[in-house]
Amino acid sequence: MKAKKKVRKKDIYCKICHNNKGMIHRYGINVCRRCFKDIAEKLGFKKYS
């Protein structure tokens, strides 16, 4: 039986731009911070000032 490969943070890439820097993993979003800024409102996040 084959052992499962452990997934490391550097092996996870952004779903949109395929970058692995500045990743947001919370809630299973798995997008980088730059792409998150573009899609945050569509996901239901609000910006408070």
Q: Which amino acid is at 21?
A: K
One CATH from 2.60.40.10, 4.10.830.10, 3.40.190.290, 3.40.440.10 for 9-41: 4.10.830.10
The pair of three-digit structure tokens given for residue 33, joined into one six-digit string = 């911070």
Which residue, 48, 22, 45, is CA-closest to 33?
22
Global pTM? Answer: 0.69
User: Cα–Cα distances in Å, from 36 out to 2, 7, 8, 20, 45?
Assistant: 36, 22, 21, 13, 10
Round the CA-based radius of gyration of the chain to a whole number and report it: 14
Taking the chain (49 residues) in consecutive chunks of 10 residues, what is each chunk's mean pLDDT?
75 89 88 93 87
Task: Find tokens 């997008």 and name the residue.
Answer: 31
